[in-house]
Amino acid sequence: MRDSIEQTSADTVEEVEQFDAIIIGAGLTGLYQLYRLRQLGLTVRVFDDGAGVGGTWYWNRYPGARFDSESYTYGYSFSEDLLQEWDWKEHFSGQPENERYLNYVADKFNLRGDIQLNSPVSSAVYDDGEDCWEIYTEDGRRARARFLIAAVGVLSARYLPDFPGIDSFQGDWCHTARWPEEGMDLTGKRVGVVGTGATAIQLIPKIAEEVAHLTVFQRTPNYAAPLRNSEIDPETQQQIKASYPELFAKLKETSGGFIHDVDPRSCFEVSPEERLAKYEELWAQRGFSKWLGNFKDTLTDDAANEDYAEFVRNKIRERVHDPVVAEMLVPKDHPFGSKRIPLETNYYEAYNRDNVLLVDVKKAPIESITPKGIKTQDTEYELDVIIFATGFDAVTGSLTRIDIRGEGGQTIKDKYAGGPRNYMGLQSVGFPNLFIMPGAGAGNFTRGCEPVVEWVADCIGYLRQNEFKHISATPEAEEAWTEYVAEATANSLRTKADSWFVGANIPGKARVFLGSPDSAPVARAKRAQVAANGYEGFLLR
């Protein structure tokens, strides 16, 4: 049962609600965590800053936003009823449907009563004496719980570059991760898009037809590949539903929770003709097959990678009519696959339109936002609307923007100043009873989050059963894990580009690998072993 504690200070009486667990975030992870903890009989409250549930799929409502994993591989797998009831309409479902799905989940499992929306958590303070956390929301509410679960998302702290003059702009502007619920009327407007990452690559072809003129400010081109989305016909729908057990069993065994199988051959083992035929075959397929279904050495060997990268560059060149523009869109400064591959529909064709202009802001960087538009080092571009598709302070940003104070008042922001320091991504020394929900990094997000949610629920169940009030990672375990992450990822492809994977997209952020150093099956096995050994590496009290 939930209690209310009347706390009296000098001249105020405040109500502090008391729960067994507090979850920050009502996205994919937070919703499932709530479900699992309630199954254990805990009282739980979820706080979220959005006006609706869904996290990423609530906020990222820009035109074109959709899954890059096949819909049926991305949905929750924990409920057979849910799997059979929900019909994914498209192979790569769009944001409106994804948001509907998460609302459906919230209703189906009766979760809403424990979710407080429009409630950004501004701070969380650990009470050493009581072994519990007290959280404060921006509107002044307080709540306490033994366990705090930060299900704050990997890509949820939006990043807006510090361009001078943004407040002077006389038109409208927004960040793609804060697209207004009522939409933006871009019809007949002169629109500028800053950034050409996965978000912009989805957005640009959608709005190019609607606007009077579109100026795209590109700093670094990406290797984008065709998504090849389509609707799911009734027969395929039936086949998908019948195959869920095998599908999820398979996804469990793949490195990132994706459906694609790596070709066990080396790319140089086959003739150039055979190699090209394989590349073409992959190119014609849906989704990430061209990233993850390639030869075994495409993502590990420099020469193999370059061979495929050149194939992709030529695909881009083929689609863009103006050779100068085509060359601007061809990436040359990072290996193929070192960033998550943006999947697109008609992205490159957008640059064949008369009303679309590509501007190289590596050559002439953006200097300021003016009342009329964007001023680069050599030109001022007049605009009615500016859209910042400039990404996120990934993984750590959503945590460090909350004033989280652990033992002795130390903040997570200070602790993470040189990069994340934690044990298995789950807990950081000095912050007992706080579970940090790690993201899947380069993987399929739901496949990555479900097992972690289950592990945390089991762990909390174990603590309660054994009447432990306190769990904290040991300094030795954290030190060893942090060293392991650095060593295991030092030569990984994912560290070879300046992307959010390593914090390189944020000026001044420490360059540290932010994802999991292990494949999903290995990470799962390690967590299981830790639990089987009585939560080895953690101090329980």
- What span, in angstroms and rounded, lies between the C-alpha atoms of 143 and 240? 43
Binding ligand NAP by CB under 6 A: which of 77, 119, 370, 390? 390
Least Å distance, CB 226 to ligand NAP, is: 13
Residue with tokens 């929301």: 137
Least Å distance, CB 90 to ligand NAP, is: 13
- What span, in angstroms and rounded, lies between the C-alpha atoms of 73 and 66? 14
Q: Does 366 help bind ligand NAP (rule: CB under 6 A)?
A: yes
Q: Does 361 help bind ligand NAP (rule: CB under 6 A)?
A: yes
Least Å distance, CB 142 to ligand NAP, is: 33
Give Cα separations from 425 to 197, 374, 429, 506 (angstroms).
Answer: 26, 40, 11, 21
Give me 421's structure tokens: 């320091």
Binding ligand NAP by CB under 6 A: which of 18, 73, 77, 199? 199
Least Å distance, CB 394 to ligand NAP, is: 7
Write out the binding residues for ligand NAP, residues 249-268 only, by CB under 6 A.
none
Binding ligand NAP by CB under 6 A: which of 24, 152, 389, 429? 389
Dihedrals phi, psi of 532, to nearest 5 degrees: -60, -30
The identity of residue 54, as a single letter, is: G
Least Å distance, CB 97 to ligand NAP, is: 13
Least Å distance, CB 425 to ligand NAP, is: 17
Q: Does 288 help bind ligand NAP (rule: CB under 6 A)?
A: no
Least Å distance, CB 198 to ligand NAP, is: 4
Nearer to ligand NAP, 36 or 158 (CB): 158
Edge to edge, what strands does the sheet with 380-382 contain? 366-369, 373-376, 380-382
Which helix (H) or strand (E) is 238 found in, with range?
helix 234-242
Give Cα separations from 408 to 128, 189, 417 (angstroms).
Answer: 8, 54, 17
Nearer to ligand NAP, 420 or 439 (CB): 439
Q: Does 194 help bind ligand NAP (rule: CB under 6 A)?
A: yes
Q: Does 202 help bind ligand NAP (rule: CB under 6 A)?
A: yes
| 44 close to 23: Cβ distance less than 8 angstroms | yes
Q: Which of the ranges 136-144, 217-225, 321-329, 397-405 carries the binding residues for ligand NAP, by CB under 6 A? A: 217-225
Binding ligand NAP by CB under 6 A: which of 195, 337, 373, 517? 195
DSSP 182-198: T----TT-EEEEE--SH
Nearer to ligand NAP, 390 or 427 (CB): 390
In total, the chain counts a number of residues equal to: 541
Nearer to ligand NAP, 30 or 439 (CB): 439
Find, among 197, 155, 504, the residue nearest to 343 by Cα.
Answer: 197
- What span, in angstroms and rounded, lies between the C-alpha atoms of 505 and 502? 8
How many amino acids of this chain bind ligand NAP (CB under 6 A)? 24
Q: Which residue is nearest to ligand NAP (CB)?
A: 197
Least Å distance, CB 381 to ligand NAP, is: 13
Find, among 56, 178, 133, 116, the residue nearest to 412 by Cα.
Answer: 133
Q: Does 396 help bind ligand NAP (rule: CB under 6 A)?
A: no
Nearer to ligand NAP, 423 or 500 (CB): 500
Write out the binding residues for ligand NAP, residues 338-357 only, by CB under 6 A.
340
| 233 close to 90: Cβ distance less than 8 angstroms | no
Dihedrals phi, psi of 135, to nearest 5 degrees: -110, 150
Least Å distance, CB 386 to ligand NAP, is: 12
Q: What's the half-sphere exposure (Cβ side, CA atoms, 13 Å) at 208?
A: 22
Q: Does 161 help bind ligand NAP (rule: CB under 6 A)?
A: yes
State whether residue 326 is helix, strand or coil: helix
Write out the binding residues for ligand NAP, residues 92-121 only, by CB under 6 A.
none
Nearer to ligand NAP, 149 or 194 (CB): 194
Write out the binding residues for ligand NAP, residues 457-516 only, by CB under 6 A.
500, 505
| 124 close to 354: Cβ distance less than 8 angstroms | no
Least Å distance, CB 229 to ligand NAP, is: 11
Give me 420's structure tokens: 């994340």
Q: Does 215 help bind ligand NAP (rule: CB under 6 A)?
A: no
Nearer to ligand NAP, 59 or 86 (CB): 59
Q: Which of the ranges 240-248, 344-352, 385-393, 397-405 carries the binding residues for ligand NAP, by CB under 6 A? A: 385-393
- What span, in angstroms and rounded, lies between the C-alpha atoms of 489 and 87? 38
Least Å distance, CB 467 to ligand NAP, is: 41
The DSSP output letter for 433 is T
Q: Does 68 help bind ligand NAP (rule: CB under 6 A)?
A: yes
- What span, in angstroms and rounded, lies between the C-alpha atoms of 251 and 406? 37
The DSSP output letter for 448 is H
- What span, in angstroms and rounded, lies between the C-alpha atoms of 315 and 326? 10
Q: Does 197 help bind ligand NAP (rule: CB under 6 A)?
A: yes
Find, among 185, 228, 179, 231, the residue nearest to 200 by Cα.
Answer: 179
Residues in contact with ligand NAP by CB under 6 A are 67-68, 155, 161, 194-200, 202, 217, 219-220, 340, 361, 366, 389-392, 500, 505
